[in-house]
Protein backbone atom coordinates (compact mmCIF):
# COMPACT_ATOMS: atom_id res chain seq x y z
CA UNK A 1 0.00 0.00 0.00
CA UNK A 2 1.38 3.41 -0.94
CA UNK A 3 1.82 6.21 1.59
CA UNK A 4 -1.05 8.24 0.14
CA UNK A 5 -3.40 5.23 0.21
CA UNK A 6 -2.45 4.46 3.82
CA UNK A 7 -3.12 8.06 4.83
CA UNK A 8 -6.46 8.13 3.03
CA UNK A 9 -7.46 4.91 4.77
CA UNK A 10 -6.39 6.28 8.14
CA UNK A 11 -7.96 9.74 7.93
CA UNK A 12 -10.27 9.91 4.93
CA UNK A 13 -9.88 12.48 2.15
CA UNK A 14 -11.59 15.40 3.89
CA UNK A 15 -9.66 14.97 7.13
CA UNK A 16 -6.38 14.46 5.31
CA UNK A 17 -6.86 17.91 3.76
CA UNK A 18 -7.58 19.27 7.27
CA UNK A 19 -4.45 17.52 8.60
CA UNK A 20 -2.39 19.05 5.76
CA UNK A 21 -3.74 22.53 6.56
CA UNK A 22 -2.82 22.10 10.24
CA UNK A 23 0.67 20.99 9.15
CA UNK A 24 1.03 24.06 6.92
CA UNK A 25 -0.06 26.40 9.73
CA UNK A 26 2.45 24.72 12.05
CA UNK A 27 5.22 25.18 9.47
CA UNK A 28 4.38 28.86 9.03
CA UNK A 29 4.39 29.34 12.81
CA UNK A 30 7.77 27.59 13.12
CA UNK A 31 9.30 29.69 10.36
CA UNK A 32 7.87 32.89 11.88
CA UNK A 33 9.36 32.05 15.29
CA UNK A 34 12.68 31.19 13.61
CA UNK A 35 12.65 34.54 11.79
CA UNK A 36 12.00 36.39 15.05
CA UNK A 37 14.85 34.51 16.72
CA UNK A 38 17.25 35.31 13.86
CA UNK A 39 16.35 38.99 14.17
CA UNK A 40 17.04 38.76 17.94
CA UNK A 41 13.53 39.83 18.86
CA UNK A 42 12.90 39.24 22.56
CA UNK A 43 9.25 38.17 22.53
CA UNK A 44 9.25 36.23 25.80
CA UNK A 45 7.45 32.90 25.60
CA UNK A 46 7.07 33.09 21.81
CA UNK A 47 10.80 33.18 21.08
CA UNK A 48 11.92 31.21 24.14
CA UNK A 49 9.64 28.18 23.82
CA UNK A 50 7.59 28.80 20.66
CA UNK A 51 10.37 27.40 18.50
CA UNK A 52 10.66 24.33 20.70
CA UNK A 53 6.94 23.67 20.42
CA UNK A 54 6.37 24.53 16.76
CA UNK A 55 9.62 22.97 15.56
CA UNK A 56 9.03 19.65 17.30
CA UNK A 57 5.39 19.63 16.21
CA UNK A 58 6.34 20.42 12.61
CA UNK A 59 8.85 17.56 12.51
CA UNK A 60 6.33 15.21 14.10
CA UNK A 61 3.53 16.05 11.66
CA UNK A 62 5.81 15.91 8.62
CA UNK A 63 7.31 12.54 9.61
CA UNK A 64 3.87 11.06 10.17
CA UNK A 65 2.74 12.38 6.77
CA UNK A 66 5.79 11.27 4.76
CA UNK A 67 8.42 8.90 6.17
CA UNK A 68 6.18 6.77 8.36
CA UNK A 69 2.98 7.11 6.33
CA UNK A 70 2.76 3.43 5.34
CA UNK A 71 3.21 2.12 8.87
CA UNK A 72 0.16 1.27 10.95
CA UNK A 73 1.45 3.21 13.94
CA UNK A 74 2.85 6.10 11.91
CA UNK A 75 1.99 8.80 14.38
CA UNK A 76 3.45 6.93 17.34
CA UNK A 77 6.73 6.41 15.48
CA UNK A 78 6.83 10.03 14.34
CA UNK A 79 6.15 11.20 17.89
CA UNK A 80 8.93 9.06 19.34
CA UNK A 81 11.45 10.19 16.72
CA UNK A 82 10.57 13.89 17.08
CA UNK A 83 10.55 13.82 20.89
CA UNK A 84 13.65 11.61 21.11
CA UNK A 85 15.61 13.83 18.73
CA UNK A 86 14.60 16.96 20.60
CA UNK A 87 15.47 15.37 23.93
CA UNK A 88 18.86 14.21 22.62
CA UNK A 89 19.56 17.74 21.36
CA UNK A 90 18.73 19.23 24.75
CA UNK A 91 20.79 16.65 26.64
CA UNK A 92 23.78 17.35 24.35
CA UNK A 93 23.73 20.89 25.75
CA UNK A 94 24.73 19.48 29.15
CA UNK A 95 28.09 18.35 27.74
CA UNK A 96 30.78 20.55 26.20
CA UNK A 97 31.38 19.08 22.74
CA UNK A 98 33.77 21.86 21.64
CA UNK A 99 36.25 20.55 19.06
CA UNK A 100 34.07 17.58 18.13
CA UNK A 101 31.56 17.07 15.31
CA UNK A 102 28.79 17.65 17.89
CA UNK A 103 29.97 21.20 18.69
CA UNK A 104 26.90 22.58 16.85
CA UNK A 105 24.70 21.35 19.73
CA UNK A 106 26.20 23.86 22.16
CA UNK A 107 23.78 26.04 24.04
CA UNK A 108 22.21 26.47 27.41
CA UNK A 109 20.45 23.47 28.92
CA UNK A 110 16.91 24.39 29.93
CA UNK A 111 14.70 21.71 31.49
CA UNK A 112 11.64 23.72 30.42
CA UNK A 113 12.62 23.00 26.81
CA UNK A 114 12.01 19.31 27.52
CA UNK A 115 8.57 20.26 28.85
CA UNK A 116 7.95 22.24 25.64
CA UNK A 117 8.98 19.24 23.50
CA UNK A 118 6.62 17.04 25.49
CA UNK A 119 3.80 19.57 25.08
CA UNK A 120 4.42 19.63 21.32
CA UNK A 121 4.16 15.84 21.07
CA UNK A 122 0.95 15.92 23.10
CA UNK A 123 -0.49 18.62 20.82
CA UNK A 124 0.46 16.45 17.84
CA UNK A 125 -1.29 13.46 19.40
CA UNK A 126 -4.38 15.63 19.88
CA UNK A 127 -4.25 16.68 16.21
CA UNK A 128 -4.02 13.03 15.16
CA UNK A 129 -6.88 12.08 17.48
CA UNK A 130 -9.05 14.93 16.15
CA UNK A 131 -8.36 13.89 12.56
CA UNK A 132 -9.41 10.34 13.34
CA UNK A 133 -12.43 11.42 15.40
CA UNK A 134 -13.61 13.83 12.71
CA UNK A 135 -13.50 10.93 10.28
CA UNK A 136 -15.55 8.68 12.56
CA UNK A 137 -18.08 11.44 13.22
CA UNK A 138 -18.28 12.33 9.52
CA UNK A 139 -18.77 8.70 8.51
CA UNK A 140 -21.50 8.13 11.07
CA UNK A 141 -23.42 11.22 9.93
CA UNK A 142 -23.23 10.27 6.23
Which of 10-19, 24-33, 111-120 has the lowest average pLDDT?
10-19
pLDDT (0 to 100) of residue 142: 44
User: 3-state secondary structure string, the chain?
Assistant: CCHHHHHHHHHCHHHHHHHHHHHHHHHHHHHHHHHHHHCCCCCCHHHHCHHHHHHHHHHHHHHHHCCCCCCCCHHHHHHHHHHHHHHHHHHHCCCCCCCCHHHHHCCCCCHHHHHHHHHHHHHHHHHHHHHHHHHHHHHHHC
- The range of the structural domain enclosing residue 114 comes to 3-141
pLDDT (0 to 100) of residue 141: 47
Question: In the predicted model, is pLDDT for residue 138 greater than 60?
Answer: no
Question: In the predicted model, is pLDDT for residue 60 greater than 70?
Answer: yes
User: Residue 135 — pLDDT band, cuts 50, 70, 90?
Assistant: low
Count structural domains, the chain: 1
Model confidence pTM above 0.75: yes
Amino acid sequence: MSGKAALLERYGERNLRWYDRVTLITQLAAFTVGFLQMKHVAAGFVTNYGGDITGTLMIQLMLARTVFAVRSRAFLLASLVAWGGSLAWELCQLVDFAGTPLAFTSGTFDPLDILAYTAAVMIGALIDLLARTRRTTGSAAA
